[in-house]
Structure 1
Amino acid sequence: MTRRIAAFIALTLTLFAGVAAAQSLITRYVAGDHYQVIDNPVAQPEDGKIQVVEFFLYSCPHCYHLEPELKDWRKTLGDDVEFSRVPVLFGAGGQVYARLYYAAEQLGVLDKVHEDIFTAIHEQGRRLLSEDDIRDFMEDHGVDGDRFAEAFDSDAVSDKVRAAGETMRAFRVTATPSLGVAGQYYLSGRSAGSNEKMFDVADYLIAQQRAANAD
């Protein structure tokens, strides 16, 4: 009898511990502390996917160092998550780097040059702040200089830079790197506890949104 009681007590304690751990997991991230709920939600994709936005700056050393981990984390996102980037417009060269990003995207070479831009700035000492320097960089990567210059100065790129500014204001972006999730939440390394912990908080918010979508 004593053994049965002891076993029952042990099982009960184990169940309580499991419930407590689950509750701790569910409530471990708090709005206002680990992330912010933005005032006016940003419209999400019509296909119902959960949008995750990285706010970054090419000259930001933290963005540069986080890029490999960000790349790995993106591979873990489900098919119901849509990832995109928004180059911020503040800081040294923000406008120039944003135009570089969107020009590369327009030319279809963004995936090819994105990491190399970080490398050029942070390892090779190429600041890429003038159009001539950027053109040289792009030509080094096999892009026609005239085509790049046309894209860099195009109205289409200007429109995307303006849209980037609107998205920044909507999320009230204050730092890089930082993330926007589901058009409703904004988090930075400072709020999450570190740049690396942003991914845990984002995963939590994605799960919350996924559950809400299923209701």
Structure 2
Amino acid sequence: MFLVVINSTSSAQEFIAGKDYYIIEPERLEYSGSIIEFFNYACMYCYRVETDIDRLYEHLPEKISFERIPVVMGKKYRYEPAAIASYILKFNGLESKYHKYMFQVIRSPLSWELKKYNRLSEKSYLQIFFEDLGLSAEKYQDSYIYAQKKLSDDRERFKTLALTGTPTFLVRGKYIVSGLRPEPYAERHLVNTLIYLLRLE
């Protein structure tokens, strides 16, 4: 798989292939019905995008699903537990309820959260956190084993797609949108790009 970069000289085009997004060749048909966000709760840029991502749901066609896949790109001691936490949420049907809260606990915890959960930086803190959410010790252990396997599987998927950072969005198996621009409100431009790509044939 490789990315085809297409440049445009048209000043009227707001979103430019090769700058705002990239086209995948060949198209990945197995992802044609979805938008996938590769992210991590410990990622500062993923945290920024989250402030604007709700607008995407308003423009999401019924036939297109939205999925988040955690990957480990930064310091392993922080990013791997955060990725495992994401899988545990999914495994127990808790993602929609606690997704945004996870960014707070890991990226900007309150003083008592920092003391008790320590940004979920170790397995022991993960267990305390999820038991506080209501998981039994047995359920947590089963979830942790599942999370480790999923992390390994999805790491290979990330490599196969030749992706290099977070947040990265794979749109309908055709387009890649990755990273944030340096200017203010870059997260708004990224989400606008995703909405634009949803409308392309």
Task: Answer whether TM exceeds 0.5 for this pair.
Answer: yes
Which of 26, 31, 49 is the matching residue for 1:66? 49
* Structure 1 residue 184, shift from structure 2 partner: 2.0
Q: Could you tell me whether the CA contact under 8 Å between 1:56 and 1:86 is conserved in 2? A: yes
Does the alignment pair 1:28 with 2:14? yes
Which of 97, 111, 124 is residue 112 of structure 1 equivalent to? Answer: 97
Match of 2:142 in 1: 150
Q: Distance in 1 between matches of 2:48 and 2:180?
A: 16
Write the letter of the residue equivalent to 1:166. E
Where does the alignment leave 5 or more consecutive residues of structure 2 unmatched? Answer: 1-9
The aligned runs of 1:31-110 (5 Å cut-off) are 31-44=17-30, 50-92=33-75, 93-110=78-95
1:190–1:70 CA distance, 2 compared to 1 (3 A): closer
Look at both structures and tell me which one has the larger radius of gyration over its CA atoms.
1
Structure 1: gaps (5+ residues): 1-22
In structure 1, what is the Cα distance between the partners aligned to 2:122 and 2:195? 38
1:206 aligns with 2:189: no
Q: Is the counterpart of residue 180 in structure 1 residue 170 in structure 2?
A: yes
Distance in 1 of aligned mates of 2:106 and 2:79: 13
Q: Secondary structure at the match of 1:85?
A: strand
Asked if the contact 2:40–2:82 (Cα under 8 Å) also holds between the matched residues in 1, the reply is yes
Please, what TM-score do these two structures have when normalized by structure 1?
A: 0.73
Q: Relative to 1, partners in 2 of residues 1:66 and 1:190: Cα closer, same or farther, differing over 3 Å?
A: closer
Contact 2:45–2:179 (CA under 8 A) maintained in structure 1: no
Q: Which digits, 9 at most, give the CA deviation of each residue in 1:86-106, with x for residues without a partner?
A: 111211233322222112211
Contact 1:42 1:170 in 2 (8 A): no
TM-score, normalised with respect to structure 2 = 0.77
Secondary structure at 1:69's aligned position in 2?
Answer: coil
- Aligned equivalents of 1:42 and 1:129: distance in 2? 35
Matches of 2:151 and 2:16, distance apart in 1 = 32
1:63 Cα deviation (Å)? 1.7
Structure holding more helix per residue: 1
> How many angstroms apart in 1 are the aligned matches of 2:29 and 2:149?
18
Deviations 1:150-202 (A, max 9, x none): 21023xx3442233213322433223222111112111244697222111111
Identity of aligned residues (%): 24
Q: How does 1:6-21 map to 2 (within 5 A)?
A: none
Alignment RMSD (CA, Å): 2.4
> Which amino acid in the other structure matches residue 103 of structure 2?
F
> Matches of 1:189 and 1:152 in 2, distance apart?
29
* Aligned equivalent of 2:4: none
